[in-house]
Structure 1
Amino acid sequence: MERMLAARLHIPTRTLRLDEVPRPRPGEGEVLVKVEAAGVCLSDVHLIDGTLTPLFLQGDTVTLGHEVSGTIAEVGAGVTAWTAGQRVVLYAGEVRDGVTYTRGVDYDGGWAEYALSAADALTPLPDSVSFEEGAIIPDAVSTPWGAITATGAVRPAEAVGVWGVGGLGVHAVQLLRAVGACPIVAVDPSPVARERALAAGADLALDSADPGLREAVAAVTGGAGLAAAFDFAGVPTVREQALSVLAPKGRLVLVGLTDKPLSVTDGTRFSYLQQQILGHYGSDMPVALPQLLRLIQGGRLDFSGSVSGVLPLSEAAEAVARLEKKEGNPIRLVLRP
């Protein structure tokens, strides 16, 4: 039996280890992908530190990695849409019996030399888009895209705010500018993140600890407040702050994941202003990925600069540590087998 290397997380002990495991074979309706690039996400860090736990994992160990690009290596029985050698991006999850399973969380992902995928859970990667840029689209880009275009339903000229300008938030700023939001207010305690937000297209970048934040938001929105606010930090205080500057009928979209309670300090005001709090997770992959790849291919968007470093698969633990410690302030690190 052929073998391959994979970075596997043992859930009970939260131990990440590089193992030699059997190379999978595609079953009926599946394809085997030779992994060319796999993104390292803060969600991976949270899986390792115990903040997140898989809901549907069978067994106690999983190969991490939900952002994956590569080439078709082999197709299973009944697969006619794909042939060996095609460049592809894998969806970050699959729907099975009406339930969404996340790749690299609920089933084996792409921190490996090869990865399995359902034949309908991947999309072609244009030749003009690198494997590294393609790999980060299924989460780091498509998640904020879904939050903006679907859950938040942002319309042109609406005032918006982005809290947390990290690996997803910085892309949210780019995407909000692309859909015509105005003004775009970015909020982050890090000076580097705020500079990054302005470079990505934010009209104003504020420190979350700034006592004049509410006044600054009021000034830039003509006193109206924000039509939509996006929490990419997953921090309770962030959510309270965002609610405090929402306009009447404004939407707060929760993208950042946290196990902390959500509270509304002034429930009467919230109801009177008919504001909304909307949960968001992932994106509609069959719609979002082709859309984003077309926009990249057409020169409307460019996320190549978001790849802050490329490391070999053998240094997966090092990549996780760099992201966790924000060493070098990375947007996205990518593993290459």
Structure 2
Amino acid sequence: MHPEWLVGGVMVAALVLYALLGGADFGGGVWDLLASGPRKREQRALIERVMGPIWEANHVWLILAVVLLFTAFPPAFAAISVALHVPLTLFLLGVVFRGSAFSFRSYDARGDRQQKRWGFVFSLASVIAPLLLGMIVGAVASGRIRVASGVVTSGFFAPWLSLFPVVVGLFALSLFAYLAAVYLTNEATDPALVDDFRRRALASGCVVAGLALASFAASFEGAPLIREGLTDHPITWPLHVTTGLAATAAFVGLWTRRYGLARVAAAAQVALILLGWAASQYPYLVVPDVTVEGAAANPVTLRLVLWALGAGSLLLFPSLYVLFRVFGSGRAGAASTGAGDHERE
């Protein structure tokens, strides 16, 4: 296999991991905003305690994908960063405001008015950032970003403010919220909280299905090459079938209260959706003018990148394992205890 395809595969894998981990954190912010009912405080306490120890580490996967795009495919990086500099800047601001607000809220006095304001900023940014991220992906896939002789000629607003990117943005937002709700059913120990997030997972799963169909319908006019890839590429149909089976298994797990099955199946569903998007976009990095081979850097650079990835993985994966091992156990119980502390205060 040519080195550019190996690097491209690593980029896709990094984006899948970002969706499964960082995307679920965005979804947690959505449910923080929508917390309601008699257990509103307990719901927010669970989200905070589960996210707290590891949420910043999850951004490593997005950083990895961006660095690989910049290093291995500089023309594609240039086209995306120029054509989509407005939503990219807004997305980054959303990530910064979200992280800052989460930290300030976590360490402020409980029940303080300022803490509530920081909580609102955190929740709102958690909605806006994934919406913009989905719109960026939709714009890249739409074919509206035109590049001639290395220069973007399509303007700075039309590519990401059309119908298809907006629908894809809503789809990404609902997908992250669905994933977070499924994960939270596993993290909660209070049966009432488990039921709260079970209902949210079932409802958001239905929204995901509806927006998936809406995205496909919008692709006929908004992204014809992607629509062709979704229906005509030989690898996409097995991915569609497998995605449907994973989605069905997740719903069965939620319905029968087998939450371990639901978590694994929902994660597989999200991963397969992203793999289907990557396959449908083949061989383009930016549809329709920038391809993987056309934008690839010098082969020597690509080989050095692959060696660096191999060496870095020897440090990254053990470190992440220790992080999740240390902070991943006991978080649910702590969340329930924290919720009780909130209630007493």
Pair in the same fold by TM > 0.5: no
Q: TM-score, normalised by structure 2?
A: 0.26
Q: TM-score, normalised by structure 1?
A: 0.26
Q: Which has the higher strand share?
A: 1
The one of the two structures with greater contact order (alpha-carbon pairs below 8 A, sep at least 6) is: 2
